[in-house]
Amino acid sequence: MTIPFWCLFAVLMMPLLLAFVGGYFRGKQFGQADNKNPRAQVARLEGTGARAYAAQANAWEAATLFAPAVLVAHLAGVPAESAAPWTIAFVVFRVLHAGFYLADIDMARSASFMGGMVCVVALFVKAA
């Protein structure tokens, strides 16, 4: 498997990791997770727990842009070695984004989001 595909795998695992982080904070704030109505419970979270679930939602959204970019670059014949720096950078930006989200550092979070989007655009441009 190529580096871009490993990066895609990592990006798809990030929301799941953030779900575990959010679950920890659900247990911490409420004592236990409400599996009958989990979204209502998540909506009542505060602080880092709320940000963990927001970061999870954003990670899913980012994955819906990154996955097609990786696949289009691959299908267009962009060499994996040429796409790899952009996919690695995207993963780094997304890890930073999650960390900044949890730490409530909004400007750095927005900058890391934009950095990731530059990587997505670059993959599409390489495929053109």
CATH of the domain at 26: 1.20.120.550
Q: Is the dihedral of CA 74, 72, 62, 84 positive or negative?
A: positive
Residue 125 has pLDDT above 90, yes or no: yes
What is the amino acid identity at position 56?
Q
Domain interval for residue 83: 3-127
**CA pair distance 96, 98, nearest whole angstrom:** 5
Residue 104 has pLDDT above 90, yes or no: yes
Query: pLDDT tens digit string along 20-59?
Result: 999 999 999 999 888 898 899 999 999 999 999 999 999 9
| First-to-last C-alpha distance (Å) of the chain | 23
Question: Across residues 93-118, what is the average pLDDT?
Answer: 98
Structure confidence at residue 117 (pLDDT): 98
Structure confidence at residue 35 (pLDDT): 86
Contact between 29 and 49 under an 8 Å Cβ cutoff? The reply is yes
pTM: 0.94
Query: pLDDT tens digit string along 54-83?
Result: 999 999 999 999 999 999 999 999 999 999
Q: How many separate domains does the chain show?
A: 1
What is the amino acid identity at position 53?
Y
Q: Average pLDDT, whole number, for the chain?
A: 96
Structure confidence at residue 38 (pLDDT): 87
